[in-house]
Structure 1
Amino acid sequence: MKSLGDEMRVVSRARQISAPPARAALADAATPRLFWSGDGEETVIGSGAAVTLTAGGEDRFGDVRAAADRLFAEGDVHAGTEAARPRLFGGFTFHDEHDTDEKPWGAFPSAQFVLPRRQVTYTDDAAWLTVNGVGPDATAELVSDELDATAAKLGNLPTPETMRASNVVERERTTTKEAWRASVTDATDRIAAGELRKIVLAVALRARLDGPLAAHEVTARLADTYPDCYRFLFEPTGDAELTPAFIGATPERLATLRGRTLATGALAGTTGRGDTPAEDEWLADELRRDEKNVHEHDIVVDAIRDQLSPFAASISTGERDVRRLATVQHLETPITATLSDDEHVLTLVEALHPTPAVGGLPPDRALATIRDTESFDRGWYAAPVGWFDAAGHGSFAVAIRSAVTAGDTATLFAGVGIVEDSDPDAEWDEVQLKYRPMLDELE
């Protein structure tokens, strides 16, 4: 495994293969292991690392981009199709500063991106295998030989048996309801005093299971339940005992860049799902009319437009509508920007993170308040996760509806936007709704 300072040269070969079941390819993958899939995107499963890029601190976005530029500056790449091109997959921490000694995030650097040694890509009508080699010892012959051997192996993978669901035997909240009420009241007082316009406060729930968690199996179930969300799995190390993993199914896109067209959106304002279609629609109508939720949503839309304005020749805002998921409904507004110049997706990710949907306004004051208020490290929660390629194009989501796992323990996260008229008890109830996507798949 190579890091930022090593000599790097990419050799990549790809070929179409008989599609192994995605569940089988994921179960067979070696760590660092990854899974990425989004609505309208290819599904990618990564196994092992040809190279790993890491960075830390407030310059981590730029440092990762610079390292990737060096990585892709010289290479021998034959993909056969755009979908099978080499890509770097990974994510960032929510805050600039990150203590890797603090559980449960010890295995996750402030920024980490992996070029998989083996990459299986599923398009609408085909599957492709890509093998990447990096460094002076990587030759076209060796990579081609590995490609042939791996293709033969994948063609014979059996579909793994579905593992039984885990049982949650113990739950521990990091924040009591009383402490939550105090935090929300303090936040609304600061908003009323003009110190803040909005802040997103999060809580964590630690769940202990009756056995080791199979993160790849939870990921597969999330893909079945949330097909229109961004589903992800990042296992950064090969710790045989704990196998730390970050998994989730997030509805929130941060940035998708192709050429000079950037797609993003605002997702803020939440209600539950009804037991009947009629109740479901009634709740959606109530959400559309609710002044608190609409105000919170409009703040996010305006802020994203402001964050993009230095880069955009034009910005288009779509119609606000209700996004329905398995357990909740959200207000959603699509936003598209045409950029003035060519930009790297990481430049735009840095400009957009954190959106007010997971941070607040003004950003610096909100982030400082979050640091002072929350009793846990957000790690990669609510931060950008995704991928980018040699051209600087890529796709990133906001890592909400997620959990970090190790051994028989999973730590779940959920947050809500606080504005001046927020009610602490109502916001507490919303947090419980947002735990459900991960809890349902763990149990």
Structure 2
Amino acid sequence: MRMTSSLFPWKGGSGRTKWPRAWPPIHASAGPAEVEHAWDPLLATCQEMARARGIPQILSLSQPISGLDPLAVLTRQLGSLPPNRSSSYCYLSHQAQGERVRLLGWGSLRQLDLSGEGRFQAARAFVQALQPHVHTAPGNLESPSSRQERPLCFCRFGFAPRSGGGAALVLPRWQLLQVGGELTVARLNLEVGPESDPAALAGQIAAFFARMQRLSQAPLPGWELQPPLPVAVAETPLLARIQKALQAIQAGSLEKVVLAEAVDLALPSPPPIPSLLAYLEAHHPDCSVFAFALESQRDFPPQIFLGASPERLLSVWQGRVQIDALAGSVARGANGHQDRMLAEQLLRSPKDRREHQWVVRSIQEALGRLGMEPRISPQPRLRRLANIQHLQTVIEAELPTEVHLFDLLAQLHPTAAVGGYPQQAALQWLEQWEPFDRSSYAAPLGWVDLQGNGELVVGIRSALIAGKRARLYAGAGIVADSNPAQELAEIRLKLHSLAQALALQPLPD
């Protein structure tokens, strides 16, 4: 069953625990003792729950702070880590109603490995088991202005159940939410155990919000572009795989398969991740920019999966579902006239319309297996990005009350946009002929709240970075009348964008 939105489901022997109707905001001018004592009633109530249940509870507290930029904070956090140490973090940003929404989650208070055949079911169980034990204070420490102004879990899946490490579902130690570049909501998730020291916990709360206040004037990361890194695509084996795919399609075992290419680069130095993310936001404003890292073992550089994805896989909000079908593409033109000509060519292309229709059909079938009735726009529209344009169809539906976001995700992934059609036949073909592990390339990643709302994108136009090494990923959909040379050119175009970003250097402070 989908969890309800009640934040305080626990009842003690005499009924539901009562929270005060409102908590006064903590101002930056308040003294340390004043700040710490403001949290005493919340901590006492949460500790009472922990003792009654016999397990730690999580108190989630938020405070709006003006001028606090998530990327500036990420720069300071990464710079403050001791040598050879790393931390888990997740950064997500996208455009919503004309404003940039930025999310940063830091650290790991609770974490679930997302590998294996039952990964989507395990993710649902993790969130639903966590929900009754996370408590947020009511009143003016909360704001309903954004979907993400609540405790969030961040998730990164692998493309395949046994894809390489790094796939996880994480409740961060703290998170930041910025909408439109003005006010940022800082949120701390704090474990309160039966024997916790309330004074020590109050001190942690005060120290966190005081540090966020100090960072509110931290400068944004800057960059300067260098010549793009050379990307050497191994043409002969890639063209051979395209030919094998066409043979399978002509034989009738497949309608479509999406080939991926991975290119390894040696970097002159570890890339400045916050500067790289700022660059991607500036140059790909219509994409979802992301970075996901897990704490690594000592002396090993963390693996950071990042990119700028044009494709929202799934959005669920209060039972309403939106899914993007994105397939069929052509380059942008050098001028307005050429751009319009290419767009018209894409809209009229039988090959691209056929490729796009397989994606729409795969999504429609996935929703049908859950008893959902999708609403599909009759014709695709153009999705124009900085250097490429796609065919896009938006699909909407209502989520049945017994179906969780992760149940839907288990049916959807991988859609024909990143795997192929029919789904299982395409996956079997990729298992046989794709010569590398996709890791999280083309896999779902994003956020989910404790009530089952969430938004996930597809991890395409992406790279996996570890120290001075990077693996860039790009792909192309193959259908019956695909032209191998054109598919190779499309993959090159997609790889070039990230290669340019990886060449940047940070500006000195």
TM > 0.5 fold call: yes
- Is residue 129 of structure 1 aligned with residue 186 of structure 2? yes
- Please give the per-residue CA displacement for 1:293-351, whole angstroms capped at 9, x wherever unaligned: 11100111111111112335531112411111111110111111123335321111111
Letter of the aligned partner of 2:71 in structure 1? R
CA distance in 2, matches of 1:263, 1:320: 15
Moved more, 46-55 or 427-436: 46-55
Distance 2:230 2:280 in 1: 22
2:395 to 335, 339, 342: 335
| 1:184 aligned onto 2:242 | yes
In the other structure, the counterpart of 2:288 is 230
CA distance in 2 between counterparts of 1:382 and 1:232 reads 13
In 2, distance between residues paired with 1:138 and 1:289? 66
Report the residue type matching 2:184 in the other structure.
A
Contact 2:330 2:343 in 1 (8 A): yes
Contact 1:51 1:134 in 2 (8 A): no
> 1:300-319 maps to which residues of 2 (within 5 A)?
300-318=359-377, 319=379
Q: 1:325 aligns with which of 372, 376, 385?
A: 385
Pick the aligned partner of 1:80 from 142, 146, 154. 142
Structure 1 residues 329 and 313, CA, compared in 2 at 3 Å: closer, same or farther? same
Map 1:416-431 to 2 at 5 A: 416-431=476-491
Amino acid in the other structure paired with 2:309: T
Aligned partner letter, 1:201: L
Aligned positions of 1:266-285 closer than 5 A:
266-285=325-344
Identify the residue that residue 365 of structure 1 maps to in structure 2: 425
Structure 1 position 155 matched with structure 2 position 220: no
Greater Cα offset, 188-197 or 223-232: 223-232
- Return 5+ residue gaps in structure 1 as ranges: 1-5, 101-107
State the 1:440 CA deviation: 2.1
1:150-229 alignment runs, 5 A limit: 150-157=208-215, 158-160=218-220, 162-165=222-225, 171=231, 173=233, 176-229=234-287
| Structure whose CA Rg is larger | 2
Pick which of 327-336 and 314-323 moved more.
314-323
Whether the 8 Å CA contact 1:260–1:342 is kept in 2: the answer is: no
Structure 2 equivalent of residue 254 of structure 1: 313
Is the counterpart of residue 70 in structure 1 residue 118 in structure 2? no
How far has the Cα of 1:428 moved from its partner?
Answer: 0.5
What's the offset of the Cα at 1:240? Answer: 6.2
State the partner residue of 1:3. none
Q: How many residues align?
A: 427
Contact (CA 8 Å) 2:229, 2:499: kept in 1 or not? no
What code does the residue aligned with 1:209 have? L
Q: Any residues of structure 2 matched to 1:20-35 within 5 Å, and which?
A: 20-29=68-77, 31-35=87-91
Deviation of the 1:37 alpha carbon: 1.4
Gapped regions of structure 2 (runs ≥ 5): 1-53, 79-86, 504-509
State the shift of 1:75 in Å. Answer: 3.0
Give the CA deviation at 1:198. Answer: 0.7
- Which residue of 482, 495, 498 maps to 1:438? 498
User: Shift of residue 141 of structure 1?
Assistant: 6.0
Cα separation, 2, equivalents of 1:314 and 1:114: 32
Secondary structure of the residue aligned to 1:314 is: coil
Give the AA of the match of 1:10: I
* CA deviation map 1:224-274 (0-9, x unaligned): 222221111111115565232011110111110011210011100010011
1:12 correspondence with 2:57: no
- Let me know the Cα RMSD of the aligned residues: 2.2
Retained in 2: the 8 A contact 1:14–1:147?
no
> How far does residue 88 in structure 1 lie from its aligned partner after superposition?
0.5
Aligned position for 2:323: 264
Distance (whole Å) between structure 2 residues aligned to residue 161 and residue 168 of structure 1: 20
CA–CA distance in 1 between the matches of 2:432 and 2:487? 19
In structure 2, the CA distance between the partners of 1:295 and 1:49, relative to structure 1 (3 Å rule), is same
2:142 partner letter: G
Cα distance in 2 for residues equivalent to 1:140 and 1:292: 65
Q: CA separation of 1:143/1:224 partners in 2, compared to 1, >3 Å: closer, same or farther?
A: farther
Whether the aligned pair in 2 keeps the contact of 1:381 and 1:400 (CA below 8 Å) is yes
The letter for the 2-side match of 1:343 is: V
Structure-2 separation of matches of 1:177 and 1:34: 34
The alignment partner of 1:42 has SS state of: strand
Mark the CA change 1:359 to 1:423 in structure 2 (over 3 Å): closer, same or farther: same
Correspondent of 1:399 among 459, 469, 479: 459
Secondary structure class of the residue paired with 2:301: coil
Q: Assess, with a 3 A threshold, how the Cα gap between structure 1 residues 141 and 45 changes in structure 2: closer, same or farther.
A: farther
Deviations 1:19-74 (A, max 9, x none): 31332112123521211112227311112121212132110111122122112222
> Given residue 248 of structure 2, which amino acid in structure 1 is its aligned partner?
R
8 Å contact from structure 1 (residues 311, 341) kept in 2: no
Q: In 2, are the aligned partners of 1:312 and 1:338 still within 8 Å (CA)?
A: no
Q: Secondary structure at 1:61's aligned position in 2?
A: helix
Change (3 A) 1:359 1:117: same
Offset at residue 139 of structure 1 (A): 7.3
**In the aligned structure 2, how far is the partner of 1:154 from the partner of 1:350?**
38
The structure 2 residue matched to 1:120, chosen from 176, 192, 208, is 176
Percent of aligned pairs sharing the same letter: 32
Q: Indicate how the Cα distance of structure 1 residues 190 and 150 shifts in structure 2: closer, same or farther if over 3 A, else same.
A: same
In structure 2, give the amino acid aligned to 1:231. Answer: V
1:94 aligns with 2:152: no
Would you tell me which structure has more strand in proportion to its own residues?
1
Aligned partners of 1:202 and 1:415 also within 8 Å? yes
Deviates more, 1:149-158 or 1:300-309: 149-158
